[in-house]
């Protein structure tokens, strides 16, 4: 007997929020402080998705080659400081996100967020975006044994909610999201508007592909 989906988990950057503007500003300020050329939006948007450590490493290597990684500790501290300053103005919800999440919550679905973003940024960001009350579980990069694309965050969510894998749906915009959920045996929704390292999300073969966030309700057969 097939089990009905009772919970939905979401990625954050490129799925719920457009954060590329703020991440680009923080990375470029970091590079300028270290006297490197700025990276710019197009490069940074391709690097998003593997977490802040990899983002900073990518920026350093692009600007100064492998030798620039010797400055990682200073660069990472600078990035965290600058990103904290631009977090609110550099992050905005994608169209349809708030109403869709609210509808899911009203319909009784449990909602989780699974992101590779450092956990320290999440409470204030969710508060600024008025999303805190919508999520039953929030897992940042520092809350899990291994980050996406490892399946550990999906398993942790299943355990926290007491669910079978067939009862959870995972929604994301990148191969890290799709791989993580697939490895855990969870159905996936891939969003076409996210970052996915410059690749089409359809190339990752998610269970479903949607262009607009509200289409998630149709997959779950919910009328808003």
- Let me know if 73 is a catalytic residue: no
Find residue 93's DSSP bridge partners: 17
Which residues are documented as binding site for Mg(2+)?
11, 13, 173
Q: What is the pLDDT of residue 2?
A: 58
Element spanning 114, H or E: strand 110-114
Report the predicted TM-score, pTM, of the whole model to 2 decimal places.
0.90
Q: Per-residue pLDDT averaged across 35-62, rounded?
A: 94
pLDDT category of residue 61 using cuts at 50, 70 and 90: very high
Q: What is the pLDDT of residue 218?
A: 95
Q: Per-residue pLDDT averaged across 110-130, rounded?
A: 95
Query: Which position among 11, 28, 136, 142 bears the catalytic label?
Result: 11
Given this structure, which CATH class describes domain 7-16+94-220?
Answer: alpha beta
Q: What is the pLDDT of residue 223?
A: 53
The answer to whether residues 166 and 3 touch, using CB atoms and an 8 Å cutoff, is yes
Sign of the CA dihedral running 117, 158, 203, 208: negative
Domain residue spans in the chain?
7-16+94-220, 19-89
Task: Cis check for the bond before 56: say yes or no (omega within 30 of 0).
Answer: no
Nearest 10 degrees: Cα torsion 65, 71, 73, 76: -60
- Ordered strands of the 110-114 beta sheet: 137-139, 110-114, 7-10, 168-172, 187-191, 208-210
Q: Per-residue pLDDT averaged across 184-201, rounded?
A: 94
pLDDT category of residue 180 using cuts at 50, 70 and 90: very high
According to DSSP, residue 67 is labeled G
More confident residue, 24 or 197: 24
Q: What is the pLDDT of residue 90?
A: 82
Q: What is the mean pLDDT of the chain?
A: 94
pLDDT category of residue 131 using cuts at 50, 70 and 90: very high
| pLDDT tens digits, one per residue of 135-152 | 999 999 999 999 999 999
Q: What is the pLDDT of residue 1?
A: 36
Q: What CATH number has the domain spanning 19-89?
A: 1.10.150
Which residues are documented as binding site?
11, 13, 173
């Amino acid at each position: 007997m097939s089990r009905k989906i009772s919970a939905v988990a979401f990625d954050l950057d490129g799925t719920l929020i457009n954060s590329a503007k703020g991440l680009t500003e923080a990375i470029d300020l970091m590079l300028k402080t270290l006297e490197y050329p700025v990276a710019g939006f197009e490069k940074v948007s391709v690097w998003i998705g593997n977490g802040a450590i990899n983002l900073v490493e990518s920026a350093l290597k692009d600007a100064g080659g492998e030798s620039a990684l010797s400055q990682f500790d200073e660069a990472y501290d600078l990035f965290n400081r600058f990103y904290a300053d631009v977090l609110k103005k550099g992050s905005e919800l994608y169209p349809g996100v708030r109403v869709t999440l609210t509808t899911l919550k009203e319909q009784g679905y449990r909602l989780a967020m699974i992101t590779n973003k450092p956990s320290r940024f999440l409470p204030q960001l969710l508060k600024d975006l008025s999303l805190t009350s919508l999520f039953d579980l929030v897992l940042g990069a520092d809350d899990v044994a291994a980050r996406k694309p490892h399946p550990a965050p999906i398993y942790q969510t299943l355990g926290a909610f007491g669910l079978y894998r067939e009862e959870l749906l995972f929604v994301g915009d990148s191969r890290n999201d799709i791989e993580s959920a697939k490895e855990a045996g969870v159905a996936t929704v891939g969003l076409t508007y996210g970052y996915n390292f410059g690749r089409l999300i359809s190339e990752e073969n998610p269970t479903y592909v949607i262009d607009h966030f509200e289409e998630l309700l149709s997959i779950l057969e919910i009328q808003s």
